[in-house]
Structure 1
Amino acid sequence: MNADNHVRIYAKKRDEGDYVVIIPSLGRGVEDYTEQYHSTITTRLAEAGYQVVLIQPRGAGKSSGDLTPANASMSMFAQDIKVVLDDLNINKANFIGHAFGNRLARTFATLYPEYVDHLVLMASGGNFTMDEKQETCLKNSFNLKLPDEERVGYIDCAFFAKGNDASIWLTGWYPELAAAQMLAANMINPDFYKKAGGKSFLLIQAAEDFIAPPENAGRRLKQELGDQVTYIEIPDAGHALSSEQPDAIATYIVNYLNQ
């Protein structure tokens, strides 16, 4: 990954406090965890004394890199993160992974466990096949050629709980990045990263997640891994929970990290 301004660090005081790396959702950038997308998670973590490291995925914002689907792999995306951390002389951090980012966070923890302190996952998907409506809503959320009004309907269907404002996520989509990430995720056996290298983790699942329903995803993972997982469900939230219930999520994350 080669880019200018592809890394941001938020902190009350630089070089004080443990690091937290947030890995974003499929085809989206790190701005999702800032006020730009109605999220207070980064701000709340910084206020709690953490240094929040937001690494823009290749192809998002000003971050560049090969996104040829045939060349993409989960290990490639994980190595991007490692390269940035090495450049910043960060050899230990807490990690938060959202949706696709949860898979990448667990892959990173499996490949580079020495870099990972605490681990938090949001909107973890399960090993199940999506139905036609799920696939249609997800696919058309990335179709930037659709009229805004039509596409917001698909974003609402795929990512937001009933009554929440899906227009928050009308922008910030990177279809080319998403295509590479989806192929990378499909090319790896989920059993490789399922246990996150043996790291215990907090799993925050949205109660109204249409793409990753709790009964097919988070609850099942908790059942499989048992005490390795601290499991929480957030009401009134869908797959975009970081922009729907950020304060509640931030509270759970800070409490978990402070343990």
Structure 2
Amino acid sequence: MPTQPLLRRIAFAFFAAIFAGPIHGSDQPTWPAYDFLVRDTIINHQDASNHERIFAEDPNNGAYVSIIPSLGRGVEDYTEQYNSKIVTRLAKAGYRVVLVQPRGIGKSSGDLTPQNITMSAFAHDLKASFDGLGIESVSLVGHAWGNRLARTFTTLFPDRVEKLALMASGGGSLSEDQQKCLFGSFDLTQSDEDRTKSLQCAFFSKGNDASVWLNGWYPDLGKAETFAASMISEDFFKKAGGKPFLIIQAADDYIAPPDKAGKKLKAELGDQVSYVEIPNAGHALSSEQPDEIAKHLIEYLQE
């Protein structure tokens, strides 16, 4: 049986191959016109540039919340551009929502050579943004791959994290059918019809519109993130440095089913973890049940 490091490298090689296709959509993300966008800036650091936006009803008050997106995708996933209202709901609840666009998307830039990038480097991208914006403490929400980065950041910089929440936090090994659906979703060489079928299977609950995720994929970023995740042990970030956190689990998550993902992590970590399950949602979550997710996030942040 292959060793775990070898399995990680096999997975990376597979993702590198399917991410080699053309980008489906624009390099420059499209954003809704928000009247509560209070800051739009670029922060340069260590040969990289981060594009940040802050959304708030009051630019001078409110706790900071930052959302880290899933593999190969950008922070606009949590806006109405992708049928999500999470940014809007958080801002209207009085929070200052800080969205740091990952390197390689739009105006954010930096080395994405897989062998040169680590989870620590991605974490330091976030830290550089928070430092540049004068944010000393922030609550983090990590979605899918972003949950790994959120826990890595919290492990490295525990004093900078107020609260931590995870969406679609991952499960165990995948069956052949699960792999087929997941890898088909990332294969940008397929037709829209075929990719929508894969997206429906891997990311969306039955009856929800999977086509909303046809766009917004960034292959170079995805390759770098996959490699970075393959080179770090889950034992390093699993407990998020011991900080309590919320798991928002999709009830219909085919890739990370409750029993192998959220419920399993809750059973392992006990009282460190708060757990909530969202019906009629798959791995995508934020574009399926944004109001329900925002409700639970706000309740947790206000505790």
Shorter-normalised TM range: over 0.9
Q: Deviation of residue 207 (structure 1)?
A: 0.5
Indicate the SS of the match to 1:130: coil
Deviations 1:38-65 (A, max 9, x none): 1111100000100000001111222111
- The one-letter amino acid of 1:249's match is I
Counterpart of 2:28 in structure 1 is none
1:249 aligns with 2:293: yes
1:18 aligns with 2:63: yes
Query: Hey, what's the Cα distance between the residues in 2 that align with 1:175 and 1:212?
Result: 22
Counterparts of 1:15-54 in structure 2 under 5 Å?
A: 15-54=60-99
- The one-letter amino acid of 1:217's match is A
1:81 aligns with 2:130: no
- The one-letter amino acid of 1:236's match is N
Deviations 1:169-223 (A, max 9, x none): 1100112111111111111110100110111011000001111111111110000
1:136 aligns with 2:136: no
- The one-letter amino acid of 1:24's match is P
The structure 1 segments of at least 4 consecutive aligned residues displaced by more than 4 Å after TM superposition are none
Aligned positions, number: 257
Counterpart of 2:154 in structure 1 is 109
Conserved 8 A contact 1:91-1:115: yes
1:94 aligns with 2:139: yes
Structure with greater Cα Rg: 2
Deviations 1:5-33 (A, max 9, x none): x2111000112100001000111000010
Counterparts of 1:141-220 in structure 2 under 5 Å?
A: 141-220=185-264
Q: Deviation of residue 140 (structure 1)?
A: 2.1
1:58 to 87, 93, 103: 103
TM-score by length of 2: 0.83
Indicate the SS of the match to 1:202: strand
Query: Hey, what's the Cα distance between the residues in 2 that align with 1:197 and 1:17?
Result: 26
Indicate the SS of the match to 2:292: helix
TM-score by length of 1: 0.97
Query: Hey, what's the Cα distance between the residues in 2 that align with 1:89 and 1:100?
Result: 26
Q: Which sits farther off after the overlay, 140-149 or 249-258?
A: 140-149
Query: Hey, what's the Cα distance between the residues in 2 that align with 1:57 and 1:15?
Result: 25
Query: Hey, what's the Cα distance between the residues in 1 that align with 2:138 and 2:259?
Result: 30
RMSD: 1.1
Q: Deviation of residue 238 (structure 1)?
A: 0.2
Counterpart of 2:167 in structure 1 is 122
Structure 1 vs Structure 2: percent identity of aligned residues?
A: 62
Indicate the SS of the match to 1:163: coil
Indicate the SS of the match to 1:118: strand
Query: Hey, what's the Cα distance between the residues in 1 that align with 2:85 and 2:98?
Result: 15
- The one-letter amino acid of 1:245's match is Q
Query: Hey, what's the Cα distance between the residues in 1 that align with 2:120 and 2:259?
Result: 29
Q: Which sits farther off after the overlay, 242-251 or 142-151?
A: 142-151
Q: Deviation of residue 95 (structure 1)?
A: 0.6
Counterpart of 2:49 in structure 1 is 3
Indicate the SS of the match to 2:258: coil
Gaps of 5+ in 2: 1-44
- The one-letter amino acid of 1:95's match is L
Query: Hey, what's the Cα distance between the residues in 2 that align with 1:140 and 1:69?
Result: 21
